Amino acid sequence: MTFQYPLKLSHSRQPGFDNYLASGNEEALDSLLKLLGRADSTVPLYLWGSSGCGKSHLLLAACQQMSQQSRSAIYLSLRDMEQLSPLMLGELQQYELVCIDDVENICADEAWEEALFHLYNAISQQQHKLLIAANNSPGDLPTELPDLASRLMWGVSYHLQQLDDAGKQLLLMQMADEKGMQLSEGASRYLINRFSRNINELSELINKLDHDSLSRQQKLTIPFLRHSISS
């Protein structure tokens, strides 16, 4: 199948393993690549950590790699679960790789918890691959269905670490480069120190800078950054 990215993601920033900065998360990345690379590797993988640590990036990168190998994969975020039906989880077992993101959002919802529990079982029986992501560790996720809690503890879990300031600078320069802009090390340091250390906010800023620099035909100098941030 051809994997489709969620509409909210910029087409100029398609998450892949080639643009993932693994600093501090090398072991998790290695386990994920082994899960994808070995046909007999079917133990569920659970990634957790605070917003901006790269969970969604890795799930989408996994789907991209499977698609490139002509293997079926699907990504589903439960962030907007009110617009979805738990019945849809029953249709996912056909995929060789199922990636479920933002699982914390369905906790305490009986129908969703039961549907996810049955999906776990179905994927296990078919020896397909399952990748789960949430903000909390499996043991701290406030599920009310004991059987689901047990399933979430069943596989291998990794706590993803946030990038340090040097890593965030490198990420900013990488995101700018992907949009055809040049962001110097000094300029990226300025953004980290003066604007934000939150990855999601920095990503939104890069999109704004892309628009501003195109409309004004200016390079990403510090004076330009200062003006763009304040406008």
Tokens 């892949």 locate to: 16
CATH number of the domain that 210 lies in? 1.10.8.60
Which residues in 187-216 are b (16+ Cβ under 10 Å) and which e? Answer: bbbbbbeebeeebeebeebbeebbebbeee
pLDDT band at 11 (very low <50, low <70, confident <90, very high): very low
DSSP symbol at 141: S
User: What is the residue range of 182's domain?
Assistant: 165-230
pLDDT tens-place string over residues 52-99: 999 999 999 999 999 999 999 999 999 988 889 999 999 999 999 999
- Could you report the per-residue pLDDT of 140-169, keeping only the tens digit for each? 999 999 999 999 998 899 999 999 999 999
**What CATH number has the domain bearing residue 147?**
3.40.50.300
> What's the confidence (pLDDT) of residue 13?
63
Share of the chain above pLDDT 70, in %: 92
pLDDT on residue 9: 42
CA distance 44 to 67: 19
Residue 6: inside a domain: no
Handedness of CA 202, 206, 207, 208 (dihedral sign): positive
Q: Which residue has the higher pLDDT, 80 or 119?
A: 119
Residue 3 included in any domain = no
